[in-house]
Amino acid sequence: MRLFRRVTALSAALAVAAALGPAAHAAGAGAPKKVRTIVSLTFDDGDSTHPAVARMLEKYGMRGTFYVNTDTVGGEEKLTRRGLAAIAKAGHEIGGHTLTHVRLTELARGEQEPQICDDRRKLVSWGYRPVTLAYPFGAVDSDAMAVARRCGYDAARGVGGLREWSCPTCPGAESFRPKNRYDIRTPGSVREDTLLRHMRQQVLNAERTGGLLPLVFHRVCDDCGLYSVTPRRLNDFLGWLKDRRSRGTVVKPLKDAIGARHRPLPPADDPATAQG
Protein backbone atom coordinates (compact mmCIF):
# COMPACT_ATOMS: atom_id res chain seq x y z
CA MET A 1 0.00 0.00 0.00
CA ARG A 2 2.77 2.38 0.98
CA LEU A 3 4.68 1.57 -2.18
CA PHE A 4 1.56 2.10 -4.23
CA ARG A 5 1.09 5.51 -2.66
CA ARG A 6 4.68 6.42 -3.39
CA VAL A 7 4.36 5.30 -7.00
CA THR A 8 1.13 7.31 -7.30
CA ALA A 9 2.84 10.40 -5.89
CA LEU A 10 5.75 9.91 -8.25
CA SER A 11 3.54 9.51 -11.30
CA ALA A 12 1.60 12.63 -10.26
CA ALA A 13 4.88 14.54 -10.07
CA LEU A 14 5.93 13.19 -13.46
CA ALA A 15 2.56 14.12 -14.95
CA VAL A 16 3.01 17.69 -13.73
CA ALA A 17 6.56 17.76 -15.11
CA ALA A 18 5.34 16.38 -18.43
CA ALA A 19 2.49 18.88 -18.52
CA LEU A 20 4.98 21.71 -18.09
CA GLY A 21 6.76 20.29 -21.10
CA PRO A 22 8.81 22.15 -23.68
CA ALA A 23 7.65 25.59 -22.55
CA ALA A 24 9.78 25.21 -19.41
CA HIS A 25 12.86 24.51 -21.47
CA ALA A 26 12.08 27.29 -23.91
CA ALA A 27 11.85 29.75 -21.05
CA GLY A 28 15.62 29.37 -20.54
CA ALA A 29 17.67 30.32 -17.49
CA GLY A 30 14.77 31.88 -15.62
CA ALA A 31 12.70 28.69 -15.84
CA PRO A 32 11.76 27.00 -12.59
CA LYS A 33 13.23 23.61 -11.83
CA LYS A 34 9.89 22.34 -10.71
CA VAL A 35 6.26 23.43 -10.84
CA ARG A 36 4.92 23.72 -7.33
CA THR A 37 1.86 25.85 -7.86
CA ILE A 38 -0.60 26.06 -10.74
CA VAL A 39 -2.98 29.01 -10.93
CA SER A 40 -6.09 28.49 -13.06
CA LEU A 41 -7.78 31.69 -14.16
CA THR A 42 -11.47 30.91 -14.62
CA PHE A 43 -14.05 33.32 -16.04
CA ASP A 44 -17.74 32.59 -15.53
CA ASP A 45 -20.97 33.42 -17.34
CA GLY A 46 -19.86 33.86 -20.97
CA ASP A 47 -19.60 37.61 -20.60
CA SER A 48 -19.21 39.98 -23.56
CA THR A 49 -15.98 41.26 -21.99
CA HIS A 50 -14.31 37.86 -22.22
CA PRO A 51 -12.81 37.99 -25.75
CA ALA A 52 -10.76 41.00 -24.61
CA VAL A 53 -9.84 39.11 -21.42
CA ALA A 54 -8.63 36.16 -23.47
CA ARG A 55 -6.40 38.46 -25.52
CA MET A 56 -5.01 40.01 -22.34
CA LEU A 57 -4.10 36.55 -21.03
CA GLU A 58 -2.49 35.66 -24.37
CA LYS A 59 -0.29 38.76 -24.11
CA TYR A 60 1.25 37.11 -21.03
CA GLY A 61 1.45 33.68 -22.65
CA MET A 62 -1.39 32.46 -20.42
CA ARG A 63 -4.50 30.45 -21.20
CA GLY A 64 -7.64 30.52 -19.07
CA THR A 65 -10.89 28.64 -18.61
CA PHE A 66 -14.17 30.18 -19.76
CA TYR A 67 -17.44 28.82 -18.37
CA VAL A 68 -20.45 29.43 -20.59
CA ASN A 69 -24.24 29.17 -20.22
CA THR A 70 -25.12 28.03 -23.73
CA ASP A 71 -28.74 29.31 -23.65
CA THR A 72 -27.51 32.85 -22.97
CA VAL A 73 -24.88 32.96 -25.73
CA GLY A 74 -25.75 35.80 -28.13
CA GLY A 75 -27.80 37.59 -25.46
CA GLU A 76 -27.34 41.07 -24.07
CA GLU A 77 -23.86 41.62 -22.56
CA LYS A 78 -23.02 38.00 -23.35
CA LEU A 79 -20.56 36.32 -25.67
CA THR A 80 -21.56 35.72 -29.25
CA ARG A 81 -20.91 32.33 -30.87
CA ARG A 82 -18.18 34.05 -32.83
CA GLY A 83 -16.59 35.54 -29.71
CA LEU A 84 -16.65 32.15 -28.04
CA ALA A 85 -15.06 30.51 -31.07
CA ALA A 86 -12.25 33.07 -31.06
CA ILE A 87 -11.51 32.35 -27.40
CA ALA A 88 -11.42 28.59 -28.01
CA LYS A 89 -9.29 28.95 -31.14
CA ALA A 90 -6.64 30.79 -29.15
CA GLY A 91 -6.25 27.72 -26.92
CA HIS A 92 -8.36 28.57 -23.90
CA GLU A 93 -10.55 25.98 -22.23
CA ILE A 94 -14.32 26.19 -22.75
CA GLY A 95 -16.37 24.60 -19.98
CA GLY A 96 -20.04 24.24 -19.05
CA HIS A 97 -21.97 26.41 -16.57
CA THR A 98 -25.52 25.01 -17.12
CA LEU A 99 -28.01 26.12 -19.79
CA THR A 100 -29.47 29.14 -18.03
CA HIS A 101 -27.37 29.78 -14.91
CA VAL A 102 -29.66 28.07 -12.40
CA ARG A 103 -29.01 27.39 -8.74
CA LEU A 104 -28.76 23.60 -9.02
CA THR A 105 -29.37 22.99 -5.31
CA GLU A 106 -32.91 24.34 -5.72
CA LEU A 107 -33.72 21.83 -8.45
CA ALA A 108 -34.74 18.19 -8.26
CA ARG A 109 -32.19 15.82 -9.72
CA GLY A 110 -34.40 15.28 -12.79
CA GLU A 111 -34.32 19.03 -13.43
CA GLN A 112 -30.58 19.23 -12.90
CA GLU A 113 -29.92 16.70 -15.66
CA PRO A 114 -31.05 18.78 -18.66
CA GLN A 115 -29.40 21.91 -17.24
CA ILE A 116 -26.03 20.15 -17.08
CA CYS A 117 -26.25 17.49 -19.80
CA ASP A 118 -28.03 19.54 -22.49
CA ASP A 119 -25.64 22.43 -21.91
CA ARG A 120 -22.70 20.08 -22.45
CA ARG A 121 -24.41 18.53 -25.49
CA LYS A 122 -24.81 21.97 -27.00
CA LEU A 123 -21.14 22.81 -26.44
CA VAL A 124 -20.18 19.51 -28.07
CA SER A 125 -22.51 20.22 -31.02
CA TRP A 126 -20.73 23.57 -31.43
CA GLY A 127 -17.46 21.70 -31.76
CA TYR A 128 -16.01 22.01 -28.23
CA ARG A 129 -14.80 19.29 -25.89
CA PRO A 130 -15.94 20.46 -22.46
CA VAL A 131 -14.38 18.38 -19.69
CA THR A 132 -14.94 20.62 -16.65
CA LEU A 133 -18.07 22.28 -15.29
CA ALA A 134 -18.54 25.24 -12.94
CA TYR A 135 -21.64 25.26 -10.73
CA PRO A 136 -23.56 28.56 -11.00
CA PHE A 137 -23.25 30.52 -7.71
CA GLY A 138 -20.95 27.68 -6.58
CA ALA A 139 -24.17 25.98 -5.42
CA VAL A 140 -23.61 22.23 -5.31
CA ASP A 141 -25.02 19.18 -3.57
CA SER A 142 -24.42 15.45 -3.91
CA ASP A 143 -27.08 15.18 -6.65
CA ALA A 144 -25.43 17.90 -8.75
CA MET A 145 -22.06 16.19 -8.39
CA ALA A 146 -23.52 12.85 -9.47
CA VAL A 147 -25.26 14.48 -12.44
CA ALA A 148 -22.06 16.29 -13.48
CA ARG A 149 -20.31 12.93 -13.57
CA ARG A 150 -23.18 11.29 -15.45
CA CYS A 151 -23.16 14.05 -18.06
CA GLY A 152 -19.54 13.13 -18.78
CA TYR A 153 -17.71 15.90 -16.99
CA ASP A 154 -14.43 14.70 -15.55
CA ALA A 155 -14.30 17.41 -12.87
CA ALA A 156 -16.25 20.42 -11.61
CA ARG A 157 -15.37 23.68 -9.91
CA GLY A 158 -17.21 25.09 -6.92
CA VAL A 159 -16.63 28.48 -5.28
CA GLY A 160 -15.01 28.84 -1.86
CA GLY A 161 -13.18 26.55 0.53
CA LEU A 162 -9.69 28.00 0.04
CA ARG A 163 -8.13 30.72 2.20
CA GLU A 164 -9.43 34.25 1.98
CA TRP A 165 -10.43 37.00 4.42
CA SER A 166 -13.63 35.16 5.39
CA CYS A 167 -11.83 31.85 5.93
CA PRO A 168 -8.36 32.45 7.37
CA THR A 169 -8.01 28.80 8.44
CA CYS A 170 -8.92 27.31 5.03
CA PRO A 171 -6.05 25.71 3.08
CA GLY A 172 -4.20 28.01 0.69
CA ALA A 173 -4.34 25.59 -2.24
CA GLU A 174 -6.29 22.67 -3.63
CA SER A 175 -4.44 19.43 -4.33
CA PHE A 176 -3.41 18.63 -7.93
CA ARG A 177 -5.48 15.52 -7.28
CA PRO A 178 -8.45 17.17 -5.56
CA LYS A 179 -10.06 15.15 -2.80
CA ASN A 180 -13.39 15.88 -4.45
CA ARG A 181 -12.94 16.22 -8.20
CA TYR A 182 -16.56 17.30 -8.51
CA ASP A 183 -16.25 20.19 -6.06
CA ILE A 184 -12.86 21.77 -6.66
CA ARG A 185 -12.22 24.51 -4.15
CA THR A 186 -11.30 28.15 -4.78
CA PRO A 187 -11.10 31.35 -2.78
CA GLY A 188 -14.35 33.37 -3.04
CA SER A 189 -15.04 35.09 -6.37
CA VAL A 190 -12.92 38.09 -7.25
CA ARG A 191 -15.14 41.14 -6.79
CA GLU A 192 -14.82 44.88 -7.41
CA ASP A 193 -13.60 45.26 -3.81
CA THR A 194 -10.91 42.56 -4.23
CA LEU A 195 -7.69 44.55 -4.40
CA LEU A 196 -4.54 43.65 -6.28
CA ARG A 197 -2.82 42.82 -2.99
CA HIS A 198 -5.64 40.43 -2.07
CA MET A 199 -5.17 38.50 -5.32
CA ARG A 200 -1.42 38.43 -4.83
CA GLN A 201 -1.88 37.20 -1.25
CA GLN A 202 -4.00 34.29 -2.50
CA VAL A 203 -1.15 33.24 -4.77
CA LEU A 204 1.38 33.61 -1.94
CA ASN A 205 -0.89 31.49 0.30
CA ALA A 206 -0.99 28.77 -2.35
CA GLU A 207 2.78 28.90 -2.86
CA ARG A 208 3.34 28.21 0.83
CA THR A 209 2.27 24.58 0.36
CA GLY A 210 2.17 24.39 -3.43
CA GLY A 211 -0.85 23.00 -5.25
CA LEU A 212 -3.71 24.25 -7.35
CA LEU A 213 -5.23 27.71 -7.03
CA PRO A 214 -8.30 28.23 -9.22
CA LEU A 215 -9.40 31.87 -9.20
CA VAL A 216 -12.97 32.83 -10.09
CA PHE A 217 -13.66 35.93 -12.15
CA HIS A 218 -16.81 37.25 -13.84
CA ARG A 219 -17.00 40.52 -15.76
CA VAL A 220 -13.86 42.47 -16.58
CA CYS A 221 -14.76 46.13 -17.04
CA ASP A 222 -14.83 49.47 -15.20
CA ASP A 223 -17.70 50.14 -12.78
CA CYS A 224 -19.75 47.19 -13.97
CA GLY A 225 -21.05 45.57 -10.85
CA LEU A 226 -19.99 43.81 -7.67
CA TYR A 227 -18.73 40.70 -9.48
CA SER A 228 -16.27 42.49 -11.71
CA VAL A 229 -12.63 43.45 -11.86
CA THR A 230 -11.22 46.36 -13.83
CA PRO A 231 -9.07 45.54 -16.88
CA ARG A 232 -6.27 47.55 -15.30
CA ARG A 233 -6.30 45.57 -12.06
CA LEU A 234 -6.42 42.24 -13.89
CA ASN A 235 -3.58 43.36 -16.16
CA ASP A 236 -1.45 44.39 -13.15
CA PHE A 237 -2.15 41.05 -11.49
CA LEU A 238 -1.22 39.05 -14.61
CA GLY A 239 2.03 41.01 -14.98
CA TRP A 240 2.95 40.15 -11.39
CA LEU A 241 1.76 36.55 -11.72
CA LYS A 242 3.88 35.94 -14.82
CA ASP A 243 7.03 36.68 -12.81
CA ARG A 244 6.10 34.04 -10.23
CA ARG A 245 7.30 31.43 -12.74
CA SER A 246 10.74 31.76 -11.16
CA ARG A 247 9.12 30.49 -7.92
CA GLY A 248 7.62 27.48 -9.69
CA THR A 249 4.19 29.05 -10.18
CA VAL A 250 2.59 28.70 -13.61
CA VAL A 251 -0.84 29.37 -15.15
CA LYS A 252 -2.86 26.65 -16.85
CA PRO A 253 -6.47 26.02 -17.80
CA LEU A 254 -8.18 24.00 -15.07
CA LYS A 255 -8.51 20.90 -17.24
CA ASP A 256 -4.76 20.81 -17.80
CA ALA A 257 -3.93 21.57 -14.17
CA ILE A 258 -5.79 18.45 -13.01
CA GLY A 259 -5.37 16.31 -16.13
CA ALA A 260 -9.12 16.12 -16.87
CA ARG A 261 -10.02 13.66 -19.62
CA HIS A 262 -12.74 13.82 -22.23
CA ARG A 263 -15.61 11.45 -21.44
CA PRO A 264 -18.54 10.68 -23.72
CA LEU A 265 -22.00 12.21 -23.37
CA PRO A 266 -24.76 9.93 -22.13
CA PRO A 267 -27.28 9.08 -24.85
CA ALA A 268 -29.97 11.78 -25.11
CA ASP A 269 -32.76 9.23 -24.69
CA ASP A 270 -31.12 7.48 -21.74
CA PRO A 271 -34.04 6.75 -19.37
CA ALA A 272 -31.90 7.72 -16.37
CA THR A 273 -31.72 11.23 -17.81
CA ALA A 274 -35.47 11.54 -17.65
CA GLN A 275 -35.84 10.24 -14.11
CA GLY A 276 -37.16 12.60 -11.44
**Residues interacting with Zn ion, by CB under 5 A?**
44-45, 136
Query: How many Å apart are CA 148 and CA 116, to the nearest integer?
Result: 7
Judged by beta carbon, residue 134 or residue 258, the one nearer Zn ion is: 134
Query: How many Å apart are CA 228 and CA 222, to the nearest integer?
Result: 8
CB of 160 to Zn ion, least distance (A): 14
CB of 99 to Zn ion, least distance (A): 12
DSSP H or E run through 212: strand 211-217
Q: Which residue from 141, 88, 146, 75 is spatially nearest to 117, judged by alpha carbons? A: 146
CB of 59 to Zn ion, least distance (A): 25
Judged by beta carbon, residue 44 or residue 118, the one nearer Zn ion is: 44
CB of 167 to Zn ion, least distance (A): 20
- Residue 230 near residue 60 (C-beta atoms within 8 A): no
Chain CA centroid to CA 88, Å: 14
Judged by beta carbon, residue 83 or residue 210, the one nearer Zn ion is: 83
- Residue 251 near residue 217 (C-beta atoms within 8 A): no
Judged by beta carbon, residue 135 or residue 176, the one nearer Zn ion is: 135
The residue whose Cβ lies closest to Zn ion is 44
DSSP H or E run through 159: strand 155-161
CB of 216 to Zn ion, least distance (A): 9
- Around Cβ 86, how many Cβ atoms within 10 Å? 16
Judged by beta carbon, residue 138 or residue 211, the one nearer Zn ion is: 138
- Around Cβ 3, how many Cβ atoms within 10 Å? 7
